[in-house]
Amino acid sequence: MRSNWIAVLCSGLVLVFPVVLVHAQAAESKEKQVTCTGKVVDEQGQPIGDANIKLYKVAVETIGLSYKMELAQQVTTGADGTFTINSELIDDQYSNQAIILADKEGLALGWDNWRLVNDAKVEIVLGPPEVLGGTVVDEDGSPIEDAEIGISFMLLQTGGQPRYMVGYMSLEFLSTRSDAEGKFSFGRIPAEASAEFVIKKPGRATVSTFNPQGFQGRSLQFSTAQTDIKIVQPVAAKIEGVVVEKASGKPVGGIRIMAVRGRNQPNFGSEPVVSKEDGVFSFDCLAPGEHLLQVATVLGAEGDWISEPMEVSVEAGQTKSGVKVELTKGGVLEVLVTDSITRKPVEKATVSIMPAGGGTGFGKSTDESGLARFRQMPGEYRISYLYKEGYSRQRQQEDTITIEDGKTVRVEMQLAGLPKITGVVRDDRGRPVEGAKVRICPMGGGVDACISDVEGKFEASWDPGSWHDSQMPAMVLLARQLERNLAAAVDVDENTHKVDVTLKPGVIVTGKVADSDGKGIGNASLLVMLRGPRWGSSIGRYIAADADGNYEIKALAPGQKYSIEASADGYGRCRTEADAEDAADNRLNVEPLTLLAANLSVSGVVVGSDDKPVSGADVSCYGDTQPRSRAKTDAEGKFTLEKICAGRIQISANKTSGSQMHGFIETEGGATDIKIVVSQSSSTMRYEPRRPPSLVGRPLPELKDVGVDVPPADSDGKRLLVCFFDMEQRPSRHCVTQLIKQAEPLQEKGVTIVAVQASKIDENTLDRWAKESKVPFSVGMIQGDPEKARFAWGVRSLPWLILTNNSHVIISQGFSPGDLEKQLGQNGP
């Protein structure tokens, strides 16, 4: 069975990542100890003996995305590759995350995730090691030697299931240093992994490549086998200041201060500094840009002081001094969490609050009395999240809570247990089926699937809080026994408490993932969704079975509708529908999933409503066939999204600095110089087409490619004026008419005119029109794809004029015939 790995990653907000791990049936454990049994194998499934197994406990420490890792236990696999690790049961989700790392010399690292709330059973595959590397450079592109590079975050796709590793610089095999040429490399990376980095060096800014916003859980920024990664590490900016009590102005020592890159913009791997006895503090490795200074409390602790976040902007190499962080006691919000049935306090429930108007959130766990205490600045707040495993999650409450200076306010919240459906799974002969995965869709939400026991019995839970709409959707209880290819789907509702399920031979769906040339794509990832009237629910991820991109998905319940979405590194996405009712003899072959190559980029600038560039904005893209990509704007507001496919793409830009600003645009893969305007109010998405690049300064492309053959006597040593037009458009015809009138004087000035019909028409029609119009210069027509040809020639509209010098290098483009004399005067031969 698989479970969500809940990680607290930024500003006290609980983020749920779709990390997968295998464990026993999800009944609430009463034991104080949990056990993980596992096996380490090679790619052929053969056991690996004498592999080193390490259990690392991961706990988040502060509101600023820092954490600590503790090596809790080490064991070695036996000759059969098996191992057993025990741990104390920890039901606090701020500190119950663990990583099981498998290490065998000569092989890549392998790992799985384990939440220390249930027994677990895992299999870790170790394969040949791959290399991941690149270069650290300064702002001018010069190499930086002896920079410390750590893998802060790594994602491993195994069998289509994501597994996460956090490392930062606490693990020796996830840390290295750059050489004299600025180069670095990690040599034991799994083939399916992707990673993010943290780079440190005295005098240089600490750089984190990971941006949690927009992260979709499929792939990180840097993929295995990349050896040309380039990371710019600018000169450090510094902030110096003092922490004082606001009421008296007295300095306060021992206060942890965090510098965060904007509101809701965590620094992955950043650490707080502590004020000295005289209140003085200093940050000396900051990246240039905006930072918010605020008190950093340990998660779960109330703290004695609070401060209003202070925004400070610094430039590379600059020291910002005289900054004053003023402390106040603020007010206290107490949230009492009780069980809705027993009315007893619920310990270690996660409570998150946030300002009613939006902004940074704060998370705490309840103590043994069911209380979570928040010391906050005066203002209005809402409960944004309330959860504990085994209970239904509660999302943002509409009621506001007013916190006043020097006062304590208490509210009571109730958690309701998860509804359950029990029953027995049998085959079509009435025999109990062991090992069937049973889940309720779509209301399962983050609830684990359960496994039927030897008697076929199951107890499946569902979470009403996982559905955001007030209207309860139609639900399906889905049961699948993959090894025997058995499956069934039964309609259930909120009043269903017991149901018996008869499994039937499942539908087997086959297909192929291929590129635009029909060549198969191996290791493509497949997401399979069960489709309901208003919902889709994931039932598993798969990997294409062979290098030709062929895949087979077993045990799909008859009579149901599914969708299959394919994606692969270096490609976009594609989705198809699969209706099990269309199966013949329980087999269904679906149309090929064709993925476009992600070999383009999109670049542009983000500006505010005042048309000034916005730095540090998060830019991300999405589209039906597009991969997911993200970037951050630089000091000039510029950005580039890499690995984009051809076709339409939606791009969003977000910037939080005191208030949230958004902007949207729709364009095409390959577009350059697009502009996204962000503002506090929601903006309507507009379409900005892909604009061809400017050809100014480049040699004129071959005229033969557009059907024009100019004799050397008319071209050698002469300036060329190329006019792209469409004879079926009045503005184009008018432009050509003007050029006809200027042909003779232009010829005397050493300018040769060429006209190109920019869309497909009948050649006889074009010739007849040219003769009737008495065109005195060469007229051609684009021979291939008109749209591609116009783009290659930089044509943005029709008519379109291009002027070269005597060497046939383009000196001007896109001007009107009326400006021709001016262009000729400004640009000599």
Please write the tens of the pLDDT for every residue from 33-65.
889 999 999 887 899 999 999 999 887 665 545
- Give buried/exposed letters for 225-253 (b at 16+ CB in 10 A, else e): ebeebebbbbebbbbebbbbeeeeeebbe
**The CATH classification of domain 420-504, taken from the options 1.10.3720.10, 3.40.50.10300, 3.40.50.620, 2.60.40.1120:** 2.60.40.1120
**Length of the chain (residues):** 829
CATH topology for 703-826 is Glutaredoxin (3.40.30)
What integer pLDDT is reported at residue 542 of this predicted model? 78
Q: Helix and strand tally (H, E) in the chain?
A: 5, 63
The percent of residues above 70 in pLDDT, for the chain, comes to 86
**The CATH classification of domain 5-125, taken from the options 2.40.50.140, 2.40.30.20, 3.90.660.10, 2.60.40.1120:** 2.60.40.1120
pLDDT digits (tens, 9 = 90+) for 792-819: 898 888 899 999 999 899 999 988 888 8
Average per-residue pLDDT for the chain: 84
Strands (E), 236-309: 237-245, 256-260, 273-274, 280-286, 289-295, 306-307
Place of tokens 């006043």: 404
Q: Which amino acid belongs to residue 563?
A: S
Q: What's domain 237-328's architecture?
A: Sandwich (2.60)
What integer pLDDT is reported at residue 61 of this predicted model? 60
Q: Which of 513-522, 629-638, 718-727, 735-744 has the lowest mean pLDDT?
A: 629-638
pLDDT category of residue 449 using cuts at 50, 70 and 90 = confident
Cβ atoms within 10 Å, residue 11 = 25
**Mean pLDDT, range 585-603, rounded to an integer:** 92
pLDDT digits (tens, 9 = 90+) for 637-669: 999 998 899 888 989 888 865 556 888 888 888
What integer pLDDT is reported at residue 258 of this predicted model? 85
Q: Does domain 331-415 sit in CATH 3.40.640.10? A: no
Report the DSSP beta bridge partners of residue 86: 35
Q: What is the CATH number of domain 506-595?
A: 2.60.40.1120
Q: Considering only residues 224 and 385, tell me which one the structure prediction assigns the higher pLDDT.
A: 385
Strands 486-492 and 504-505: antiparallel
Strands 450-451 and 437-441: antiparallel
pLDDT digits (tens, 9 = 90+) for 771-798: 999 999 999 999 888 888 888 898 888 8
Q: Cα–Cα distance between 335 and 302 in angstroms, integer?
A: 12
What integer pLDDT is reported at residue 722 of this predicted model? 95
**Mean pLDDT, range 720-733, rounded to an integer:** 91
Q: What are phi and psi of 788, to 5 degrees?
A: -65, -40
Task: Give the HSE-up count for residue 242: Cα atoms under 13 Å, Cβ half-sphere.
Answer: 11
12 has a pLDDT exceeding 50: no
Q: Cα–Cα distance between 7 and 215 in angstroms, integer?
A: 14
Strands 587-589 and 507-515: parallel
> What one-character DSSP code corresponds to residue 698?
S
683 has a pLDDT exceeding 70: no
Spans of all domains in the chain? 5-125, 130-232, 237-328, 331-415, 420-504, 506-595, 600-687, 703-826
**Mean pLDDT, range 442-456, rounded to an integer:** 81
What integer pLDDT is reported at residue 564 of this predicted model? 94
pLDDT category of residue 5 using cuts at 50, 70 and 90 = very low
Of the chain, the end-to-end C-alpha distance in Å amounts to 75
CATH homologous superfamily of domain 130-232?
Carboxypeptidase-like, regulatory domain (2.60.40.1120)
Q: Cα–Cα distance between 494 and 418 in angstroms, integer?
A: 11
Q: Which stretch of DSSP H or E encloses residue 792? A: helix 786-792
Cα 599 from chain centroid? 18
Query: Could you give the dihedral angle defined by the CA atoms of residues 537, 540, 544 and 545, in that order, rounded to the nearest 10 degrees?
Result: -140
